[in-house]
Every structure is written in C-alpha cells, then in structure tokens.
Amino acid sequence: MATIAPDDHKAYMRLALEQARKSPPKPTNYRVGAVVIDTATNKILATGFTLELPGNTHAEQTCFLKLAEEYQVDEENLRDAPSLPRQLALYTTVEPCSKRLSGNLPCVERVLRLAGLIRTVYVGVMEPETFVAKNTGKKSLEDAGITVVHVAGLEEEILEVATAGHVKG
C-alpha cells in the first residue's frame, strides 16, 4: 500500500479517490472511496469503495467490515476490539450519508459507533442532494465530538467519479 506522509490530507484523499474509481457506475449510487488510518502510526488500516462487498455496501461500511473481520469482531462491536488502534481518521470522497434508502445503517451511524476512536473525518465533497436531501451527517459527527474537515482541491474530479453512470440533466 502507498506510503503517505502524515497529515498529507490531499494524498490520502487521492487514495480514497482511487478506491472510488473501482466502484461500478450506477444511476442509483455515488461511487465513493474511503480510507481508515491509524493517526498515531500513520498506517493505513483499511480501504473501501461503494459496492465492493455484497449487500449494497457503501465505502465507509466496507472499511469497517474489513476491520471487523481483521479484528475478529462483529462490525457493531468494532470499538471493543482490544487491538484496534485508538486514534483513527476516516477519509471519504463524499460526506458520510445520514440516511440510507436501502434500509442499511447510514454511514454516519457507523462512524458514530467509533466516536472517540475516530477523531476526524476528512471529506472531499459534501453530499449532493441527489439522493439524501439535507444530509445531517456533518452536524451529527460534530455533535459527537468528531471533527469534519473538507479537503479542498479535488471536488470536480470527485464529483465526476461519484456521478459516473448517472443521467446528466
């Protein structure tokens, strides 16, 4: 996996964007990529992209499912895995969703289960209102003490990748 300097947020966002490009284009999904790092060691712990795993998975969900498998716990018990690093950051190309039309648990709620471990969520773009109007993700995360940071400079490319397969109106 790539070696990225600590706090090179744009490089981590580019890695997340590389993941997003692996997602199949569909008119009903954004192609999103995500990366979880241990900020204490600058180690990449998991990467993921939309629809990487079965079950209409989102990128953040994929990362957490991979971590749960690695640490041999159910995803909902991931925070209790004794060897899981305690200083995490999440990079995601699009703001974590606050509502899932599929009935799956929203990504914001998945991140909130790791509040205190995930201290910062870095986003490339805020969620467009195509699928979820008035996404409350950022506010929910900030209310839980998780800092949300916009990583500027890749918005156009992220949106182009995210909306591949969508009908352009």
Query: Per residue in 13-52, pLDDT tens?
Result: 999 999 999 999 988 889 999 999 999 999 999 999 999 9
pLDDT at residue number 29: 86
**Which of 52, 60, 95, 127 is labelled catalytic?**
60
CATH number assigned to the domain covering 15-162: 3.40.140.10
pLDDT at residue number 102: 73
3-state secondary structure of 65: helix
pTM: 0.94
Distance CA 125, CA 44 (A): 21
Domain boundaries, the chain: 15-162
Of the candidates 159, 140, 148, 98, the residue with the CA atom closest to the CA atom of residue 123: 148
Which residue has better confidence, 93 or 102? 93
Amino acid at the residue 89: A
Q: Residue 75 catalytic?
A: no
Classify residue 14 by burial, with Cβ atoms within 10 Å: 0-12, 13-18, 19+: buried
Please, which residues bridge with residue 118 across strands?
A: 88, 115
No. of H helices and E strands in the chain?
5, 5
Average pLDDT over residues 100-115: 90
- Residues belonging to the chain: 169
pLDDT grade for 134, boundaries at 50, 70 and 90: low
